[in-house]
Structure 1
Amino acid sequence: MTGDLPSYYFRLRENGAFVFRVGAEDRQRRSEMDQIAVVNIRNGEVKPHGDRQLTEADEQAIARWMVDRRATLAAREMEDIFRLSEQMGLAAHWAQSRATDAQLEEVTDELLLAMHDLRSLLVRKKAERLMKKTGET
């Protein structure tokens, strides 16, 4: 079983992970996991656990994980935005075809404010990009 296990295990937490070094099976055929660090993905901070000294292999594994994790989170974020766009289309269809007056009354103000906020921000950002593209400031 040990041959199938990775050398490191990253227990996810909201802002990063706890990093464990996975040890070989002992006589009772149990694998050991030894916490070696805590990683904060937002600021890139890596804190060795206790009085541990991280090896170069530890640091490389953590750095690779951080790159991979950031890429995963960025891909998920984009997928969430595309999903939101689909949900907005479904909400429009719902409002047109199935929503009752009471349901529309309940959600209209909140949706209008959220859409106004999003539209204002998107228009401003688009204008900024167009100005950069044409060389204006």
Structure 2
Amino acid sequence: MTDLPEFYFRIRDNGAAMFRVSTENRQKRIEMHEIAVINIRNGNIRPHGNHVLSRNEQDAIDTWVAERRVTLAARDIDDIHRSVEHLNKTAHWAQSRASDADLEAVTDRLLMAMHDLRSVLVRKKADRIGRASKD
């Protein structure tokens, strides 16, 4: 049997539930005992029940949070790159395959979303240029 990790993190919205993994029982079954709930957005860590987190458990949480934030940041930027691709595909679809009814169904929503995005991007770019000129 392969070595099991000491801890298991069950991913959930905004964080994870942390479990201690154990096979220390007569049947050698895998048991998972919840020891904490982690909220990655606000950094809140709530030990389960009356459990007091050990230094080792806290270190494992800190490592997991750091790795999870890197994963989520990579996914965010990947989603943005995919959005650019979708916009390109949408332009091609609108120009080459969309019917009048198709365009009527999506044009206003697309235009509003693109206007909103453009406004944010232009404002953010102006802020970056403004900061760079002060340096």
What is the aligned-residue identity percentage? 57
Q: For residues 3 and 125 of structure 2, what CA distance do their matches in structure 1 show?
A: 49
Q: For residues 55 and 132 of structure 2, what CA distance do their matches in structure 1 show?
A: 43
Indicate the residue corresponding to 2:101 in structure 1. Answer: 102
Q: Which moved more, 1:4-13 or 1:92-101?
A: 4-13
Indicate the residue corresponding to 1:57 in structure 2. Answer: 56
How far residue 10 of structure 1 moved from its aligned partner, in angstroms, is 0.5
The answer to whether residue 119 in structure 2 is matched with residue 92 in structure 1 is no
How far residue 54 of structure 1 moved from its aligned partner, in angstroms, is 0.7
RMSD: 1.1
Q: For residues 119 and 48 of structure 2, what CA distance do their matches in structure 1 show?
A: 46
Provide, for residues 5-31 of structure 1, a one-character-per-residue CA deviation record: whole Å limited to 9, x for no partner. 111000111011110001125222301
Q: For residues 131 and 114 of structure 1, what CA distance do their matches in structure 2 show?
A: 26
Indicate the residue corresponding to 1:29 in structure 2. Answer: 28
Question: Which 5+ residue runs of structure 2 have no aligned equivalent?
Answer: none
Q: For residues 25 and 100 of structure 1, what CA distance do their matches in structure 2 show?
A: 65
Question: Which 5+ residue runs of structure 1 have no aligned equivalent?
Answer: none
* DSSP 3-state at the match of 2:41: coil
Q: Which moved more, 1:100-109 or 1:25-34?
A: 25-34
Indicate the residue corresponding to 1:4 in structure 2. Answer: 3
Instruction: Give me the TM-score of the superposition, normalised by structure 1.
Output: 0.95
Q: For residues 55 and 130 of structure 2, what CA distance do their matches in structure 1 show?
A: 46
Indicate the residue corresponding to 2:18 in structure 1. Answer: 19
Q: For residues 14 and 116 of structure 1, what CA distance do their matches in structure 2 show?
A: 30
Q: For residues 124 and 81 of structure 2, what CA distance do their matches in structure 1 show?
A: 18
Indicate the residue corresponding to 1:75 in structure 2. Answer: 74
Tell me the matched-pair count.
135
Query: Runs of 4 or more off by more than 4 Å in structure 1?
Result: none
* DSSP 3-state at the match of 1:4: coil
* DSSP 3-state at the match of 2:27: coil
